[in-house]
Amino acid sequence: MESRSIPTILGKDLAEALSGTTSNGWRGRRLIRMMAQDGWGAPRIHAELTKLGFIISEKTVSRYTQRLRAEPDQVKRWVRWDANERRR
């Protein structure tokens, strides 16, 4: 992945994430979610948020990104359960 800054990658999404009446914490979480979905890791997200003026630790960013990890697809879980039941 190329090394680009957050405004370049997010474009209008950055303006949308920073706009509104929510507190900075909620805006930061929105930014973390958007960057994590683009494949950014916690250290890189932390660095970009720090550049934007957010005061947040890398550990907190890491916790948010861990919560955002997708659960296995419901269908895949069903197929796995069904295969396990057939083996019994």
Q: Is residue 55 part of a domain?
A: yes
- Exposure of 73 in the CB half-sphere (CA atoms within 13 A): 3
Domain that holds residue 20: 6-87
Is the pTM value of this prediction over 0.75?
A: no
Percent pLDDT > 90 in the chain is 17
The two structure tokens encoding residue 70? 């997708």
pLDDT band at 5 (very low <50, low <70, confident <90, very high): low
pLDDT of residue 22: 44
Q: Each residue of 38-81: pLDDT tens digit?
A: 888 999 999 999 998 888 899 999 988 887 765 667 778 888 88
Q: Shortest CA distance to 25 belongs to which of 64, 70, 51?
A: 64
Alpha-carbon distance of 61 to 55, in angstroms, equals 11
Q: How many domains does the chain have?
A: 1
Q: Judge whether 1 lies within some domain.
A: no
CB 6 within 8 A of CB 32: no
